[in-house]
Amino acid sequence: MAKRTDMPTRTPPAGRRTTIRAAAAKTPKAASAKLAAERPAANRAEKSAERRAAIVAAAMDEFIARGFAATRLDDVAKRAGVAKGTLYLHFKDKESMFEELIRTAVVPLIDRMAAPPQITGPVRDAVERFAETFIHEIAETRRGDIIRLIVAEGPRFPAIADFYFREVVSRGMAAMRALIQLAITRGEIRQRELAQFPQLIVAPAIVAVIWQSLFARHAPLDALAMFRVHLDLIFGERRTA
Amino acid sequence: MAKRTDMPTRTPPAGRRTTIRAAAAKTPKAASAKLAAERPAANRAEKSAERRAAIVAAAMDEFIARGFAATRLDDVAKRAGVAKGTLYLHFKDKESMFEELIRTAVVPLIDRMAAPPQITGPVRDAVERFAETFIHEIAETRRGDIIRLIVAEGPRFPAIADFYFREVVSRGMAAMRALIQLAITRGEIRQRELAQFPQLIVAPAIVAVIWQSLFARHAPLDALAMFRVHLDLIFGERRTA
DNA sequence: TGACAATGACTGACTAGTCAGTCATTAATG
DNA sequence: CATTAATGACTGACTAGTCAGTCATTGTCA
């Protein structure tokens, strides 16, 4: 396989940067203003957390771009601006790194979904707000790539597929089903069978995510407009917004 | 250690060393012997075609199960019952093998889709027949895994994503759009905007494919029933035929 | 406060494999 | 027997994971 060809903005050779001798007004407690010239105050714990964050970000980029098997930890380290050994101070091995990464990345999804749906008006409005959030913050951002990554690697990482199903899919399905049922009792939705297949509500969003990854360059997709038409199908057409 | 981070249980080395002349002579264990024995009247061209088919089938299994990067050609050869060198008599390298494989596998999709939609009754019936075919022959078979494979590897194989978009997606979209427009003029579909997003028609089918790969074990999905509800949303409810 | 010691985060050369692709040798075919 | 097909041992490039050593930071003491 070809080696890296991109690798934008080569990060400097890590935090060697000794002898900076910044004219920092030394605080009484921390005489550690040497390396901390760049950032205000960074003690050991903070720096470690920063490094970990850098590793996580770098690993995310690489895994998304190449998938699990084709990602080289040397590249992750280089992109994070650390030595390879440092990776192993934060993660047991490549596989744990990958799984932990996915888990971390999925948490925002869960939080977003766990927010109470705010049903102060028509159910359709709640669903539409939900869809706007999803499309704006997931389908059109890097989080969408994570969903694609789960689809791609799920079969080889059952632990990840299980986790995702348990934490996101089944919960989201339950929430959707409740919403559908509410809408049915209110007379907003006529198809009672829809409650059996909450997947139908979110299917266009999933397709939008995939489309953006694979075909955006061929034919850009206005995911939100598409979803609004989809809602018209479910709730019946309506004019005002 | 090294890169033995793969999950699949490594197949044991099996019978090693020594050119086993005797074995090939008596039992149909050896692949070459088997082929020759089963098809007595196989000439060179036929045998070559058979071998190629065996390689294609084996490679498909491996690529689907492991993805491109994690698939070992040694395993493909073993599964196909040929030596590794034989692979290179049929394919230039691993990458060509993968791309050619996808292309080969996608042809049936195209053929299926290219079949004239047979609009002798309501448009809904045509779409429903189409969906039945799709779900029965793709979502519930190995071809569905190929779609997942394209989703998984597409970003790293633009040639494949391009090919798939050109040969399947854009054609399918055009066909769907024509169908929608016909249904609109006939009054079967009310939402005129649907013609702008033919993706909405097939979205549940795509989701079904992904669901089968990832979550079937957690919660089996009756894809056909789901699609019928979906069609009710689009065409309006109707009692079963 | 300044000097020295202890700590442990970080490094990167190195080990122990792995695997795509090659090619000399052997088998099959016509 | 002359070709062509097939084989599988071999090579070399590549990479996950390790670990002995470095040095910035922190703690201690006068």
Instruction: Note the pLDDT of residue A164.
Output: 96
Instruction: Note the pLDDT of residue A234.
Output: 96
A80 has pLDDT over 80 = yes
Report the percent of chain A where pLDDT is more than 90: 63
Q: What is the largest CA-CA distance in chain B?
A: 75
Chain A residues touching residue B232 (CB < 8 angstroms): 191, 193
Which of A139 and B100 is assigned the larger pLDDT? Answer: B100
CA distance A15 to A82: 8
Predicted confidence band at B1 (pLDDT cuts at 50, 70, 90)? Answer: very low
Which of A125 and B238 is assigned the larger pLDDT? Answer: A125
> Picking from A45-54, A144-153, B218-227, which range would have the lowest pLDDT averaged per residue?
A45-54
Instruction: Note the pLDDT of residue B33.
Output: 39
Instruction: Note the pLDDT of residue B192.
Output: 95
CA distance A185 to A220: 37
Interface contact A233-B229, CB threshold 8 A: no
Chain A residues touching residue B165 (CB < 8 angstroms): 214-215, 218-219
Domains of chain B with bracketed CATH: 21-91 (1.10.10.60), 96-235 (1.10.357)
Shortest CB distance from A199 goes to which of B67, B162, B211? B211
Report the percent of chain B where pLDDT is more than 90: 63
Q: Tell me the H-state helices in chain A.
A: 44-70, 73-80, 84-90, 94-114, 123-134, 142-153, 158-164, 170-186, 199-215, 223-235
Interface contact A154-B67, CB threshold 8 A: no
Question: Nearest nucleotide by C1' from A74 CA?
Answer: D15
A192 CA to chain B: closest CA distance, Å?
9
Instruction: Note the pLDDT of residue A69.
Output: 97
A196 burial (CB, 10 Å; 0-12 / 13-18 / 19+) is middle
Instruction: Note the pLDDT of residue B17.
Output: 28
Averaged pLDDT for residues B146-158: 94
Residues whose CB falls within 8 Å of the CB of residue A239, separated by 6 or more in sequence, listed in order:
none
Report which residue is nearest nucleotide D6 when distances run from CA to C1': B86
pLDDT, tens digit, 9 for 90 and up, residues B216-234: 999 999 999 999 999 999 9
Shortest CB distance from A148 goes to which of B7, B151, B200? B151
Predicted confidence band at A238 (pLDDT cuts at 50, 70, 90)? Answer: low
CB of A172 within 8 A of CB of A202? yes
Averaged pLDDT for residues B83-91: 96
Q: CA angle, corner B205, sides to B202 and B206, nearest 5?
A: 90
Q: Which residue matches tokens 């934060």? A: A90
Residues whose CB falls within 8 Å of the CB of residue A69, separated by 6 or more in sequence, listed in order:
B66, B67, B69, B70
Instruction: Considering only residues 133-162 of chain A, list those whose CB is below 7 Å from strand C.
Output: none
| Nucleic strand C near CB of residue A48 (< 7 Å) | yes
Whole-Å CA distances, B105 to B57, B67, B68, B135, B202? 10, 15, 15, 16, 20
A60 has pLDDT over 70 = yes
Residue of A128, A133, A136, A140 whose CA lies nearest to A227: A128
Q: What is the DSSP letter of B16?
A: -
Chain B residues touching residue A199 (CB < 8 angstroms): 204, 207, 211, 221, 226
pLDDT, tens digit, 9 for 90 and up, residues A205-236: 999 999 999 999 999 999 999 999 999 999 98
Instruction: Note the pLDDT of residue A236.
Output: 86
Q: Which residue matches tokens 């494979």? A: B149
Interface contact A151-B214, CB threshold 8 A: yes
CB of A68 within 8 A of CB of A78? no
Interface contact A214-B67, CB threshold 8 A: no
Which of A46 and A205 is assigned the larger pLDDT? Answer: A205
Distance in Å from C14's C1' to B1's CA comes to: 13
Q: Which residue of A lies nearest to B192 if distances are taken between CA atoms?
A: A229
B18 has pLDDT over 50 = no
Chain A residues touching residue B202 (CB < 8 angstroms): 207
CA distance B230 to B208: 12
Q: What is the DSSP letter of B12?
A: P
Chain A residues touching residue B161 (CB < 8 angstroms): 214-215
How many interchain CB pairs under 8 A, A with B?
151
| Nucleic strand D near CB of residue A94 (< 7 Å) | yes
Averaged pLDDT for residues B48-76: 95
Q: Select the residue from A199, A212, A221 to test the B interface by mutation, using most B Cβ atoms within 10 A.
A: A199
Instruction: Note the pLDDT of residue A42.
Output: 58
CA distance B82 to B73: 11
Q: Which residue of B lies nearest to A227 if distances are taken between CA atoms?
A: B200
Chain B residues touching residue A193 (CB < 8 angstroms): 229, 232
Distance in Å from C27's C1' to B82's CA comes to: 14
Shortest CB distance from B152 goes to which of A94, A151, A204? A151
pLDDT, tens digit, 9 for 90 and up, residues A108-136: 878 877 777 778 899 999 999 989 988 99
A158 has pLDDT over 90 = yes
B41 has pLDDT over 80 = no
